[in-house]
């Protein structure tokens, strides 16, 4: 499948992500621009990195120690060369970069034409090649040797020009020094490193932990508005827009994401966006990808039943219209047939520990055609669609929080977590995306998702009655129901997987905080990078929540490098701690606090620049640890680093693409970002996205069972038989009356944001905690913020 356009697939270029483990302006028309106030992250990676363990099996330490290391280095090199060759072939065939076949044909025609005009642009090389050729058909075709010689020269010249352009672009786009140098100065190109293959291989594919709540992450559509209340219509437009996006990718028509509107980012991850499934293995997983032409359907899950929905039809095999896709999806919603007992909870296997799912899948594969055919349909689908009931507010969570939690974890058996993309559409018309993490980091599916939302709302649209535009096609038959014939060992594994998946789902608490007091416009006037402002506020919020500091993970993408993934920024610095202590010290003035804030912001931005340019430490430590294990040479230092716990995992989601969404004209139609599970069971996961100029949305998660993050109200209730809900603590009569884990931390974040803003003249000082919001709203309409002394240069603006 072709990747992107206009920019060579292998010469793309920066952004950010999450901790040892570890995203994104203004831009021109037709470009996805990565804003640059700091790192932006992929959302769920810190969990995988924090729990990474390398299992080399049994062996005698010190004996043939070089074999594992050389084997892994060789395997990584072979994988890299295979990907590069496949990428080069796809780019040439699609005409993406650096030149398509049409340019080669043009050059060939020009060389041949010059021969007939008695011109020799080869400076004698064509004649030399002709003299070196054997005497083929000279009697019958006198000009044959000359044509062959001209063809060889044209091909060689085209290849040489292509390779020259390749090298020039690589040298041009790999330069990173401008990120940290003063304007007008240059430095040597930033060193690049080749860890990305091992990163995906060991942190993701060899992880044996369940994907549910640990690796997969979610992205939502809009905070409140739904373009249509009809579930099938929303799903029909979304499926059509996603399949059309896939076709545009294949033709190389998608503009690459850029930094500051001029630096393209590496687009290699786009290749596996569609038609990709993570296949479980006993010791390690692998990514299975099929070409677009072999994947012309999606699989739909509704009330435990699986359906194959063909997306192309007619004589030309064209993509079905949104109205016909809606018609097909409505068939599924109207089908009253119940799910079979064995298939209703089948998807829970994808949420099980990977070894358990690998064994069950092997049993499916070993069975007859009736047992493995449905699995092949699922794994060969372009993506997975989940038609869901609308989650409503519970006694402790509003509807928005329930929606986020549903997209992330569902019921434990309502997502096929191995698929690269799970499109979740609710009965209310809202929808979201559950994304498997190993194939890409958050900015890539976010780029696609915002394009889908913009196309669906502003281009495709809906009729006055809420249906997709167009007319149904009664000749199109209903979708095919997939019937699973499960072996006994697979059926026996489902209850085990379901029990663990449901426990993980219940233990995940999500909260969305739309912070509406100010946004990027205020941080711009303060001349403070947006991510630095938020990260220091998060340090203050966490200190107030727990009374201590902790190791903090901030994801930073490194897609300025070929096949770059992520690096870690560590925001909990000595300077940040000094600022937080100053905020809690009533003896200090706001001017003193502001000075400390400025120092901490400068330090944070320096760490961001280092991470973006490949000069971070965590990926290098990861590689050193990996090599030490392969060589069986234990390192106490690296072992200690690996034992560190990331109790606060943070990431900035991709911001909206300004050419697609205008918050001023359509304030409700702005993607509200997404979130992920916490990296540590006793910590918080926080993702945030700047929505326009005056709003920041926070996505917060934690574990319900953690004694550090929980804030249950416990009380003795009537006897268990009269208790309205089951006690999770295992004590008779002791029940949960309220749970505000992530919501409590969300309140701390809001207070911290307002308190930091008071240092710049917004609000009335630290006392805003006593009355959050009111003073801030009045002040936001008042004076301009004070200018911070010695503010760091904000490259985003």
Q: Give the Cα separation of 607 and 611 in Å (integer).
A: 6
Count of other CB atoms within 10 angstroms of residue 252: 23
Q: Give the Cα separation of 40 and 144 in Å (integer).
A: 59
Residues 6+ apart with CB under 8 A from 15: 23, 24, 34, 39, 40, 257, 259, 265, 443, 556, 557, 558, 559, 560, 612
Name the β-bridge partners of 700.
511, 686
- Give me Rg for the CA atoms of the chain: 28
Residues marked as catalytic: 437
The size of the chain, in residues, is 797
Q: Give the Cα separation of 267 and 269 in Å (integer).
A: 6
CA angle at 789 for the pair 784 and 793, rounded to the nearest 5°? 90
Q: What share of the chain is helix, strand, coil (3-state, %, to 5)?
A: 40, 15, 45
Alpha helices per DSSP H over 436-548: 443-454, 488-506, 520-525, 530-546
Count of other CB atoms within 10 angstroms of residue 205: 18
Host H or E run for residue 618: helix 618-630
The tokens for 375 are 């699995």
The tokens for 637 are 């230092």
Helix (H, G, I), strand (E, B) or coil at 510: strand
**Cβ–Cβ under 8 Å, residues 401 and 510:** yes
Residues 6+ apart with CB under 8 A from 214: 44, 47, 48, 51, 504, 677
The tokens for 466 are 């809420």
Host H or E run for residue 744: helix 741-758
């Amino acid at each position: 499948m072709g990747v992107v356009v206009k920019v060579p697939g292998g010469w793309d270029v920066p952004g950010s992500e999450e901790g040892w483990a570890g995203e994104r302006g203004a831009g021109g028309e037709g470009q996805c621009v990565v804003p640059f106030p700091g790192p932006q992250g992929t959302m769920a990676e810190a969990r995988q990195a924090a729990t990474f363990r390398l299992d080399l099996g049994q062996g005698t330490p010190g004996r043939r120690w070089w074999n594992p290391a050389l084997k892994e280095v060789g395997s990584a090199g072979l994988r890299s060369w295979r990907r590069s060759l496949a990428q080069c072939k796809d780019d040439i065939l699609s005409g993406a970069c650096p030149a398509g076949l049409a340019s080669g044909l043009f050059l060939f025609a020009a060389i041949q034409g010059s021969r007939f005009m008695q011109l020799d642009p080869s400076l004698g090389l064509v004649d030399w090649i002709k003299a070196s050729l054997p005497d083929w058909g000279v009697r019958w075709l006198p000009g044959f040797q000359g044509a062959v010689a001209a063809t060889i020269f044209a091909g060689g010249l085209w290849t040489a020009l292509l390779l020259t352009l390749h090298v020039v672009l690589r040298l041009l786009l790999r330069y990173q020094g401008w990120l940290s140098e003063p304007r007008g100065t240059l430095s040597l190109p930033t060193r690049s490193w080749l860890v990305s293959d091992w990163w995906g291989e060991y942190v993701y594919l060899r992880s044996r932990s369940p994907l549910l709540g640990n690796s997969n992450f979610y992205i939502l559509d809009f905070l409140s508005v739904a373009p249509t209340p009809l579930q099938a219509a929303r799903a029909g437009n979304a499926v059509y827009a996603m399949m059309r996006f896939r076709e545009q990718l294949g033709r190389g028509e998608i503009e690459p994401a850029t930094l500051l509107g001029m630096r393209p980012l590496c687009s290699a991850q786009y290749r596996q966006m569609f038609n990709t499934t993570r296949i479980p293995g006993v010791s390690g997983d692998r990514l299975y990808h099929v070409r677009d032409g072999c994947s012309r359907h999606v699989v739909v899950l509704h009330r435990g039943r699986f359906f194959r929905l063909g997306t192309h039809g007619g004589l030309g095999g064209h993509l079905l219209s949104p109205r016909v896709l809606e018609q097909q999806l409505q068939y599924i919603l109207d089908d009253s047939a119940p799910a079979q007992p064995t298939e209703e909870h089948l998807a829970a296997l994808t949420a099980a520990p990977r070894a358990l799912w690998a064994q069950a899948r092997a049993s499916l594969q070993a069975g007859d055609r009736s047992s493995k055919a449905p699995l092949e349909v699922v794994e060969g689908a372009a993506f997975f669609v989940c038609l869901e009931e609308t989650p409503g507010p519970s006694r402790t969570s509003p509807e928005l929080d329930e929606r986020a939690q549903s997209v992330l974890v569902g019921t434990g058996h309502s997502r096929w977590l191995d698929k690269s993309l799970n499109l979740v559409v609710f009965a209310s018309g809202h929808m979201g995306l559950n994304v498997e993490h190993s194939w890409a980091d958050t900015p890539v599916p976010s780029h696609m998702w915002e394009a889908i939302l913009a196309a669906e709302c502003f281009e495709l649209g809906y009729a006055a009655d809420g249906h997709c535009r167009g007319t149904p096609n009664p000749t199109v038959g209903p979708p095919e129901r997939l019937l699973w014939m499960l072996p006994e060992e697979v059926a026996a594994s489902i209850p085990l997987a379901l029990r663990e998946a449901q426990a993980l789902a219940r233990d995940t608490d999500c909260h969305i905080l739309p912070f509406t007091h100010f946004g990027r416009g205020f941080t711009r006037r303060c001349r403070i990078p947006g991510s630095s402002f938020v990260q220091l506020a998060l340090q203050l919020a966490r200190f107030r929540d727990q009374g201590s500091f902790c190791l903090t993970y901030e994801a930073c993408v490194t897609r300025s490098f070929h096949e770059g993934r992520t690096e870690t920024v560590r925001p909990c610095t000595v300077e940040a701690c000094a600022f937080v202590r100053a905020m809690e010290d009533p003896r200090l003035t706001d001017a003193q606090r502001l000075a400390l804030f400025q120092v901490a912001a400068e330090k944070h931005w320096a760490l961001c620049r280092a991470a973006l340019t490949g000069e971070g430490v965590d990926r290098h430590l990861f590689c050193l640890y990996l090599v030490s294990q392969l060589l069986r040479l234990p390192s106490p230092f690296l072992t200690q680093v690996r034992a560190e716990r990331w109790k606060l995992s943070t990431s900035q989601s991709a911001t909206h693409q300004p050419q697609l969404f205008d918050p001023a004209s359509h304030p409700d139609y702005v993607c509200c970002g997404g979130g992920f599970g916490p990296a540590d069971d006793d910590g918080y996961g926080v993702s945030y996205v700047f929505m326009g100029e005056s709003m920041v949305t926070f996505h917060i998660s934690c574990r319900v069972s953690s004694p550090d993050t929980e804030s249950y109200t416990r009380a003795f209730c009537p006897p268990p038989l009269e208790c309205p809900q089951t006690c999770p603590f295992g004590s008779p009569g002791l029940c949960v009356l309220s749970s505000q884990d992530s919501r409590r931390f969300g309140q701390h974040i809001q207070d911290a944001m307002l308190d930091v803003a008071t240092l710049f003249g917004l609000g009335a000082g630290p006392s805003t905690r006593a009355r959050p919001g009111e003073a801030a709203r009045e002040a936001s309409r008042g004076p301009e913020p004070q200018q911070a002394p010695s503010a760091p240069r904000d490259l985003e603006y």
